[in-house]
Amino acid sequence: MTATPRVPIPRAYFDRAGHSPFDPPAVLGRLGELSPVSRVNLLDGSEAYVVTGIDEGRQVLTDPRFSADRFMHRSSLRPNPRDPYGAGAGLFAAMDPPLHTRYRRLLTGAFTVRRVGKLEPAIRDIAATLIDRMLARGNSGDLVTDFALPLPSLVICELLGVAHADQATFQSFAAEMARLDTSPERAAQLGAEFDELLSRSIEHKRANLGDDLLSGLISSDADPALTNIELVNIARQLLVAGHETTSNMLALGMFALLSHPDQLDFLRTHPGHWPAAVEELLRYLSIAQLSVVRVTTHEVPLGETTLPAGAAVIVAVSQANRDAGTWTAPQDLRVDRPRCPHLAFGFGIHQCLGQQLARLELIVGYAALLDRLPGLRLAVAAHEVPLRTDMTIFGVHALPVSWS
Superfamily classification of domain 11-402: Cytochrome P450 (1.10.630.10)
Backbone angles phi, psi at 237, to 5 degrees: -60, -45
pLDDT attached to residue 5: 59
Query: Is residue 6's pLDDT more than 70?
Result: no
- Up-side HSE of residue 100: CA atoms within 13 Å toward CB? 16
Separation CA 21–CA 168 (nearest Å)? 28
Alpha-carbon span 369 to 223, nearest angstrom: 45
pLDDT at 1: 35
- Is residue 294 within 8 Å of 313, Cβ to Cβ? yes
51: closest CA among 25, 64, 77, 32? 32
d(CA 327, CA 329): 6
- Rounded mean pLDDT, 182-192: 81
Nearest residue to 60 via CA among 286, 302, 340, 297? 302
Q: If you ran DSSP here, which 8-state letter would residue 66 be given?
A: E
* pLDDT higher than threshold 80 for residue 170: no
User: Which of 87-96, 172-181, 329-338 is least confident?
Assistant: 172-181
pLDDT in tens, 217-275: 999 988 889 999 999 999 988 988 888 899 999 999 999 999 999 999 999 999 999 99
Task: Look at residue 2 in the predicted model and tell me its pLDDT.
Answer: 44
Q: What is the pLDDT of residues 353-401, one digit of tens each?
A: 999 999 999 999 999 999 999 999 999 999 999 999 888 899 999 999 9
Number of residues that this document lists for the chain: 404
pLDDT of residue 84: 62
Burial of 263 (0-12, 13-18, 19+ CB in 10 A): buried
pLDDT at 340: 81
Q: What is the pLDDT of residue 101?
A: 95
pLDDT tens track for 300-311: 999 999 999 999
Mean pLDDT, the chain, rounded, equals 90
What is the DSSP pairing of strand 312-315 with strand 305-307?
unpaired
What is the pLDDT at residue 82? 65
Confidence (pLDDT) at 79: 61
Global model pTM greater than 0.85:
yes
Q: What is the pLDDT of residues 55-89, one digit of tens each?
A: 999 999 999 999 999 888 777 676 665 666 777 89
**If pLDDT is split at 50, 70 and 90, which confidence band does 194 have?**
confident
- Candidate from 112-121, 127-136, 163-172, 317-326 with smallest mean pLDDT: 163-172
Q: How far apart are CA 50 and CA 83, in angstroms?
A: 26
Residue 80, pLDDT score:
60
What pairing do the DSSP bridges indicate for beta strands 305-307 and 300-302?
Answer: antiparallel
- Give the whole-angstrom CA distance, residue 147 versus residue 201: 26
400 or 9, higher pLDDT: 400
Has residue 299 got a pLDDT over 90?
A: yes
Mean pLDDT value across residues 137-154: 95
330 or 222, which is more confident? 330
In this structure, are residues 234 and 217 in contact, taking their beta carbons and an 8 Å threshold? Answer: yes
Q: Residue 240 has what pLDDT?
A: 84
